[in-house]
Every structure is written in structure tokens, then in C-alpha cells.
């Protein structure tokens, strides 16, 4: 089995909640293994109660079905972190209108996580922004507004 072809197919599977980024770019795909029984894909959900987890597993199975049986294994430890979002994924989030995390969880800086970031608007790059709500369309995002252009946007909080 050509794992490069499998990886390419897997890299094209979009996240159902943020279709601008793939599951690989979001860092949800933690492993891919060829086994005697077929393929095993290891996924770590963005959070334990993610309602899209089953849909994501189904999308992975459907995308890789041409390669034979696919087993999806959910791995919840270590927990997913925004540090796993690839540089390409961060850029795609920004282009989609969601500001990517502005600090790394693993940088040892508790203060960086507790302080509100200074965000630039993903639409006009304005620096005057304000937080409207700690929670956005999903628990991992918060809602902000650009004071300069007036447009709301989401910020992918570091976890």
C-alpha cells in the first residue's frame, strides 16, 4: 500500500466546523498506520465533548475507503492543543477570517494564556479590536469585533 497516497487523501479531509483547514492542518490526525487488517488512523478531538467527533471519523473512513478497511482510533491523551495546528493551518484560519492562537500553550507562560491578546482584524488588519464574548460558535473560539471596520470575527483560543 502506498502510504504517500493515503496521506495525501487524508490531508484533503476538511474539518467539518472549519472547512478551510484540513484535519491534518488542525493537528487532529495524530497517526496513520498500515496494519494487517487495513489502515488505522489515530485522531485526537479538539476537546473531549466535540460534537463533530463521529462525523470526523466517518469522513476519514469515507475518504480512505478505496484503500480497504479503515479503523479510527480516538486518542484523548495527550489532549489536543492549539500548538498542533500547522503553520499552513494557521495561515488558512487567518484567511478564512478566524484569528489563529496568538501564544503557545507549551511556552510555559501562564501569563500569556491568562491575558487577553492584542489581535489584528483578519479582514482589514486593524489593531483596534475588542472581545465581545469569551465564547464563539464553538467553545474553542471567542468572538471579537474590529473597531476600525466594525466587522465581527472569531479568535481560536490557545488550549
Report the percentage of the chain scoring pLDDT > 90: 74
Burial class from Cβ neighbours inside 10 Å (0-12, 13-18, 19+) for residue 111 reads exposed
- Listed in sequence order, the residues at least 6 apart from 57 whose beta carbon sits closer than 8 Å to its beta carbon are 43, 72, 74
Q: 42-63, pLDDT tens digit by residue?
A: 999 988 888 899 999 999 999 9
CA 75 to chain centre: 16
| Cβ contact 78:134 at 8 Å | no
pLDDT of res. 49: 82
Cis before 153? omega within 30: no
First to last CA, the chain: 36
pTM above 0.85, yes or no: no
List the chain domain ranges: 3-80, 87-156
pLDDT of res. 112: 45
From residue 57, how far is each of 13, 62, 103, 140 by CA, in Å? Answer: 11, 9, 29, 20
pLDDT of res. 54: 95
pLDDT of res. 105: 53
Average of per-residue pLDDT across 66-88 = 95
Q: 97-124, pLDDT tens digit by residue?
A: 999 988 655 545 444 445 567 899 999 9
pLDDT of res. 113: 46
Q: 121-148, pLDDT tens digit by residue?
A: 999 999 999 999 998 888 788 999 999 9
Domain 3-80 has CATH 3.30.300.130: yes
d(CA 154, CA 134): 10
Amino acid at each position: 500500500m502506498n502510504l504517500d497516497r493515503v496521506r495525501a487523501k487524508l490531508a484533503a479531509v476538511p474539518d467539518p466546523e472549519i472547512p478551510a483547514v484540513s484535519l491534518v492542518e488542525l493537528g487532529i490526525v495524530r497517526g496513520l498506520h498500515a496494519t494487517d487488517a487495513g489502515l488505522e488512523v489515530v485522531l485526537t478531538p479538539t476537546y473531549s465533548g466535540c460534537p463533530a467527533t463521529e462525523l470526523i471519523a466517518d469522513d476519514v473512513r469515507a475518504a480512505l475507503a478505496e484503500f480497504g478497511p479503515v479503523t479510527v482510533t480516538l486518542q484523548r491523551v495527550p489532549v489536543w492543543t492549539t500548538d498542533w495546528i500547522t503553520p499552513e493551518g494557521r495561515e488558512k484560519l487567518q484567511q478564512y477570517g478566524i484569528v489563529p492562537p496568538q501564544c503557545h500553550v507549551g511556552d510555559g507562560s501562564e501569563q500569556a494564556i491568562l491575558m487577553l491578546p492584542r489581535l489584528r482584524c483578519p479582514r482589514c488588519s486593524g489593531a483596534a479590536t475588542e472581545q465581545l464574548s469569551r465564547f464563539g460558535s464553538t467553545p474553542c473560539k471567542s468572538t471579537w469585533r474590529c473597531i476600525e471596520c466594525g466587522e465581527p470575527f472569531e479568535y481560536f483560543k490557545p488550549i
